[in-house]
Amino acid sequence: MRLFYSILFSIGFVVITNAQQLMATLEEESVIADNALFFDGTQHNNSNPSGNYRFANRISPHGDCIDVVDGFVFVTWYQGGMDNRHLMLSRKKLDDPNADWVTIEFPHQHIGWQGNPNIGDSHNTAAIGICTIDETIHILYDMHAYTENSYPDDFFNYSVSIPNAAFVPDAEFNLSLFNPKQDYLKSGQNYERVTYPALHRADDGSLVTRYRRGGSGNGDIYMASYDGNSWSNNWLYADGSIPLPDRYSLYGQEKFLYGTFYSIFSIRYAQNDNYTNNNGLYFAATDALPVTQSNQWIDVNGNSISMPIKNADVVKIAEPSDDYGTTAAPRTSFDPAFTITESGAIHAVTRVDNANVHYYRGVGQTTFSSNSGGAIPFPQVRGDIFSHNNYVFMVELLGGRPVIKATPEGENNWEIIYSAITEPTRFRHFDAVLDADKLYVYLMENIPGDACPLHLQIFNLSEGIIDYPTFATIDIEAEDYDEGGQDVAYHDTSSGNSGGAYRTDDVDIEAKTTASNGHAITEFKGNEWMQYTFQVDSAGLYTFNLIAANQNQDTSRMEVEINGVVYEDFLVTRTFDWNIFLPSSLPNIELNKGENVVRITQKQSLSSRPDKLEFVSDIQIVNTIETSRQETTVFPNPSNGIFNIRASDQNHRFAVVSLEGEIVQQGILKQNEIDLTNYPRGIYFLQLSSDSGTIVKKLVVD
């Protein structure tokens, strides 16, 4: 006889009412091109001389490659595949719903690793900036510390348009607008050995460029400004030639925010004895225009500093590697992402030993707080941090799909405000910019080959009050599997609890502060399983959620058996971090009143760490305005995903919420239609808000 210890799990009611939050609504998506360059294949190095690329395989989009200004969006990219490699510039008018992307192909081709066109080099980004004083387009591209002697035609690549070219009609947007390629910004200045060019536009329309001259541990950081007529001389911002052991190069970014030019960066020492690659957080700023070396520059506390920056300790904010490093020489390989809010709160996110770290200082505070792990966004996806009103937010790719997280300024309370985790299209990487209340996300689609599609997604940002529906959940902690032992309550292929926590049998459980009950399953190997017996008060359809961490695998799969029905190839959402737990769902699961049984079996070894199992069902619908409810009709319902809305009021703001409480769509209701055809079958809640009040309707996608 099989013996089970039956555990009664209580139904918890989750009610979130009148929650003020930042909201992100996907308003528009378009395909820019279907043939952008991607360095497909393997990495070229000494042990693999036949490899296809050096350093990384990303080149489009990459770097300072998108600009939004005066109702237009501009993006740079390289044409794929490897036999093409031409520099490309695409533009789209934003306020015209019928506008198409128009593209210019330049004669220049990506020169490849050390001049070899068959090996890609990911350093050779293409930066773009629009000067609104004379309406010129500036592009700096395809350079990686080249000398004039070695690459006389390509050591420095600069293309600039004639004046008044940026906003010409689409029919006139062509190569004739551009002057011949130049190997200088200002004649007589030295532009050899340049890498990582960037272009920034000030509030007056002028441009500032920044680039490194020299190597990764001893490069000088130079800047120059364009006033609508000509470029200034190069001037030294950070001195990479100071004596050892303090010699370093700067890795970071700059931004014009609310009339001030900010720089937050990490550094890479020429002698890496204590740190692997980068370390530290550093801050400098000036509010003078044009930005020059002779401006008054200040540190994070408003104290004057001299230029150029020599020993970077004079502008240091913090040492994340010392605070959160887990190895003898902590590793930080990515630039910090940062923003400053209009009120003056400072936020920076970096990465130490594969942990995401957040440093922040609220308005009026004099010291920085910090946190690691959890829901803090990942800088390694090359996202950026932005601010909108009193919020800070960042875009990520989780499982190849866009996710936007936000926190109130001066806090570390990150929450997902947009998720495309169920969308079919996956992306490799992206860059993003913010313009007023619009977020522009520039992405490369993840398909095989060296020529891949480019997309632009446009999000509207707003603040609002969401009345969420009330729903019921049955929560089962993953560590609360049945009693009964091996091959009765679980199957484990190794003896003992390797995590040493919570229980003393053979299932591996570890203490985990980011897990819901402080514990999660670890070392979950192929064909190991756990079984759970639980009670249900009301029979009906539920959504099953497995909350789990999955750092490495896009194809992590389980087998889920519920009351004898087997669901094969259950895909576990990739979370990119063993400390982050996200849901993976099965809709329309029928549960019985009384006893029910669920078993989860790992099919791909060590690719997930379960935290919790949930079954979610709606038990009531919130209708805050009873009279409006009678005057609003949703049809057909159920439907295949297209719902028509008939309402007496106009200008509804809407939000569609899943059974898991996730906002899957939101915005202003257009054409009285909601389209959920790209979302899984199941039950959703539609909230409609207008001047008359708020109602909630249940939607069934069958």
Q: What is the 3-state secondary structure (H, E, C) of 94-124?
A: CCCCCCCCEEEEEEEECCCECCECCCEECCC
- By C-alpha distance, which of 368, 343, 344 is closest to 358? 368
Above 80 in pLDDT, residue 522? Answer: yes
CA atoms of 63 and 431, how far apart (whole Å): 8
Q: Angle at CA 585, nearest 5°, toward 580 and 586?
A: 160
- 628 pLDDT band, cuts 50/70/90, is very low
Residue pair 378/361 in contact (Cβ under 8 Å)? The answer is no
User: For position 671, what pLDDT does the model report?
Assistant: 67
pLDDT at 693: 60
| Per-residue pLDDT at 172 | 97
CB 144 within 8 Å of CB 195: yes
- The more confident residue out of 543 and 471 is 543
Q: What is the pLDDT of residues 440-495, one digit of tens each?
A: 999 999 999 999 999 999 999 998 765 544 556 788 999 999 999 999 999 999 99
* Higher-pLDDT residue of 583, 505: 505
The token pair at 534 is 């639980």
The closest alpha carbon to 157, from 262, 270, 78, 70, belongs to: 78
Q: Choose between 572 and 77: higher pLDDT.
A: 77
Task: Give the tens place of pLDDT for each residue, 610-622.
Answer: 999 998 875 433 3
Cα dihedral 288, 291, 293, 297 sign: positive
pLDDT in tens, 77-116: 999 999 999 999 999 999 888 899 999 999 999 999 999 9
β-pairing, 331-332 with 276-286?
Answer: parallel
Alpha-carbon Rg for the chain in angstroms: 27
Question: Per residue in 259-281, pLDDT tens?
Answer: 999 999 999 999 878 898 899 99
Q: Does domain 11-17+474-617 have CATH number 2.60.120.260?
A: yes
Instruction: Give the confidence band of 569 by pLDDT, cuts at 50, 70, 90.
Output: confident
Alpha-carbon separation of residue 637 from 88, 302, 571, 589 (angstroms): 46, 59, 29, 19
Task: Dump pLDDT digits (tens) for 338-377.
Answer: 999 999 999 999 989 878 899 999 999 999 999 997 788 8
Q: Which fold has domain 626-701?
A: Immunoglobulin-like (2.60.40)
Task: Report the pLDDT value the prediction gives residue 456, as an integer from 0 to 100.
Answer: 97
pLDDT at 3: 26
Q: Is the pLDDT of residue 1 over 50?
A: no
Residue 212, number of CB atoms within 10 A of its CB: 23
| 430 strand-pairing partners | 443
- Condensed to tens digits (0 to 9), the pLDDT of residues 269-324 reads 998 788 988 999 999 999 999 999 999 999 999 999 999 999 999 999 999 999 99
Cα–Cα dist 117/413, whole Å: 47
SS3 (DSSP) at 326: coil
For 153, residues 6+ apart whose C-beta sits below 8 A from its C-beta are: 183
Looking at this protein, which amino acid is placed at residue 103? Answer: T
Pick the CATH number of 19-466 from 2.120.10.10, 2.60.120.10, 1.10.238.10, 1.10.520.10: 2.120.10.10
SS3 444: strand
Measured distance CA(416)–CA(371) in Å, rounded: 17
CA distance 692 to 659: 26
Percentage of residues in the chain having pLDDT higher than 70? 91
Q: How confident is the model at residue 631 (pLDDT cuts 50, 70, 90)?
A: low
Tokens encoding 568:
């094969």
Is the pLDDT reported for residue 190 higher than 70?
yes
pLDDT-derived band at 401 (thresholds 50, 70, 90) equals: confident
Collect all residues with Cβ–Cβ distance below 8 Å to 313 and sequence separation of at least 6.
none
Residue 659: is its pLDDT beyond 70? Answer: no
Residue 279 CA to residue 332 CA, distance in Å, equals: 6
Q: pLDDT at residue 627 above 50?
A: no
Q: Residue 183's closest CA among 207, 163, 157? A: 157
- pLDDT recorded at residue 18: 45
Q: What is the pLDDT of residues 105-115, one digit of tens each?
A: 999 999 999 99
Residue 4 pLDDT > 50: no
Task: Please work out, in degrees rounded to the nearest 5, the angle formed at the alpha carbon of residue 225 by the alpha carbons of 223 and 229.
Answer: 150
Residue 661: per-residue pLDDT: 59
Is the pLDDT reported for residue 691 higher than 70? no
Structure tokens, 12: 């918890």
DSSP 422: T
Q: Which residue would you say has higher pLDDT here, 79 or 690? A: 79
How far apart are alpha carbons 311 and 277 in whole angstroms?
17
DSSP class of residue 215?
Answer: -
**In the chain, where are the structural domains located?**
11-17+474-617, 19-466, 626-701
The one-letter code for the residue type at 649 is D
Query: What percent of the chain has a predicted confidence (pLDDT) above 90?
Result: 64
Spatial separation of the C-alpha atoms in residues 358 and 283, rounded to whole Å = 15
Q: Are 44 and 122 in contact (CB under 8 A)?
A: no
Does residue 529 carry a pLDDT above 80?
yes
